[in-house]
Chains A and B, each alone.
Chain A
Amino acid sequence: MKTVPRFALLSAALLGSAALAQTKQVIGVSIPAADHGWTAGVVYHAGVAKTQLEKMYPNAQIIVKTAKDANEQANQIQDLYTINKISALVILPQESAPLTRPIAALKAKGVFITVVDRGLTDPKAQDAYVAGDNPGFGNVAGRYISKALGAAGGNVVILRGLPTVIDNQRNDAFNAAIKSNAKIKVLDAKFGNWNRDDAFKVMQDYLTRFPKIDAVWASDDDMAAGVLKAIQQAKRSDIRLVLGGAGMKEMVQRLIKGDALITANVTYPPSMIADAMRLTVAHVAGGKPIAASTIIPSVLITKANAAQYYFPNSPF
């Protein structure tokens, strides 16, 4: 209980208000509902982190809420403040623009705000920012494909996600990275919408259109799953590698087993929500300082380090 007066002092100094000094720190976590693999991973890791952190910090209570859209999320954080009296909020916004104002309003009332992954349109609305590295995600993938194809180069096809800022950042960084290998030719880049079925169709059409493809940057593991099926169906043997991304457990498992086409993966870990929660709780309940911005790098998973990125219990 030693930390309580310390926190009171801290919040008084930090927020100019001592009203938040309570015996129990309530931390709200607001995340998108599990609607596809990656967000399902976010929900899973948030749940695991809640259990761990509440054990580590007996003076902290963590409430995890999921929302299906920006509107619902804005209502939820309002309720977290008025009903649960949270002193800190860890939020992965569904959408940046519509949530910036509600989050700023909460900060003005003295709630410590940690924003995760999707940045707000006004960074002043947050105290801390924890995010994955989207340009890094494209860069690591581009460098791996350049190196894997070697001096001879080859033909590459790209499956993009949905037309969003995230996808543009990844794609631009990928294209910049493969420029280092002049012999690589990008045949086309089409949207697979981060979806297995759509990726399957786009890949079928790529296979019809291009007689020789050396590598596929599927840019996501769900899409890679569809790509692999299309290649298998067309019985094509010219493709040497398929690079997905995000570290889905089925793909990491293939890596461990030594799949011929899946030789690497690039992380964009849904566990970043757990990192953000750890940093925030350590700050408000443990008094540890927190950096204004924490970028979780995208790293290359290969057979050598795959075991440490394999979470068999996660739905993703």
Chain B
Amino acid sequence: MSVSDTPLTPPARHSLLARVAALGPLLGLLTLMVVATLLNSDFLSFSNLTNILTRAAFTGIIAVGMTFVIISGGIDLSVGSMAALIAGSMILIMNALVPHLGNGWSTIVVGMVCALVIGGLAGLFHGVIITRGRIEPFIVTLGTLGIFRAVLTYLSQGGSISLDQDVGDHYGPVYYGSLLGVPVPILVFTLVALLGGVILNRTRYGRYVQAIGSNEQVARYAAINVIGVKIATYVLLGLCVGVATLLYVPRLGSASPSTGLLWELEAIAAVIIGGTALKGGHGRIWGTVVGAVLLVTIENVLNLTNIISVYLNAAVQGVVIILVAFFQRGNRR
């Protein structure tokens, strides 16, 4: 049964206006970059640009997974807490393995696998409770937002969990290292985004996700395994959170109750700025990537200047987010 000829996806808009509107986030980012360069010429330095992209990698990778969940009509509020819990558990596991496996790559690889497994299981749990248990994703993930962070706070006794120093030294290059001059986190971010784009636009699974978000009832009649596809979006997101955590842990080598705070909002904001409809149905990965970079850039620009009172940072971020959404409103109806 093919769904390619069913009217599940919205018709393509070919008017010039809609095309310009679709480029909203990109235009926003470019404008911001021009302003930033005028304010401080160091903005365009190679090291600053890599700093920005590296920072955007964490929430960006999560946002790629979040794009699938939101397109399918769901939401996940727990990703920040999940990242913190994965980071904490991963560090505890690696520390416990040091006496048995030593402080080299075997310990780190086991830690990495554990991180992905925990992320995948958390996603599976969300997906099953939401679909089989028929509870609103907002409620389920609001619950786990509290649960995940509380468990981490318990594990760390409110302080921080620190990675064994020698393991940290071996693990460091995963964040600080680079390949052909490009930092590893940026490469991983690019890879995840490309993979996400291919899955969303070039596979049957991607079409199913869009179809379900567009009209779940119709998708069901079209014999799409709605429950399976939905569960898979949460598992995919859980894996993305796991990957982001793999890059995060070697940065500071510690996790604390303030790790990943508000990442869920950053990830959701990146998805929405990028032109994905919050109510589901359609969206695009490249937009999400631009959205994630845009959010980090605002913060960077504010740090590179002192023309605006530091108390107003959040206000500037809010204004830019709303402006970008305004300029592409024609794209979402």
Contacts and interface: CB of A to CB of B under 8 A. Distances in A.
A39 B158 contact: yes
B39 to A, nearest CB: 10
A33 B303 CA distance: 32
Contacts of B47: 208, 234
A282 interface: no
Interface in B306-321: 306, 310-311, 313
Interface in B54-89: 55
Given A229-B252, A233-B176, A209 B157 contact: no
Chain A interface helix/strand/loop/mixed: helix
Interface string A223-253: 0011001000110000000000000001000
A201 B299 contact: yes
Interface in A180-194: 188-191
A12 B55 CA distance: 62
B331 interface: no
Given A234-B47, A315-B158, A316-B159, A34 B252 contact: no
A234 B299 CA distance: 19
Contact of B45 (A33, A43, A208): A208
A195 B258 contact: yes
B257 A35 contact: yes
Interface in A27-51: 33-37, 39-41, 43-44
A303 interface: no
B257 A36 contact: yes
Nearest to B158: A34
Nearest to B51: A204
Interface residues of A, number: 37
A36 B258 contact: yes
Interface in B279-323: 299-300, 303-304, 306, 310-311, 313
A16 interface: no
B303 A200 contact: no
B158 A40 contact: yes
Contacts of A204: 51, 55
B141 interface: no
B172 to A, nearest CB: 9
Given A40-B157, A43-B158, A209 B252 contact: no
A209 B158 contact: no
B108 to A, nearest CB: 18
A219 to B, nearest CB: 14
A37 to B, nearest CB: 5
B251 A200 contact: yes
B256 A208 contact: no
18 contacts: A33-B158, A34-B158, A36-B256, A36-B258, A40-B158, A43-B157, A160-B310, A189-B310, A190-B303, A196-B258, A197-B259, A205-B51, A205-B303, A208-B42, A209-B303, A222-B160, A222-B256, A315-B157
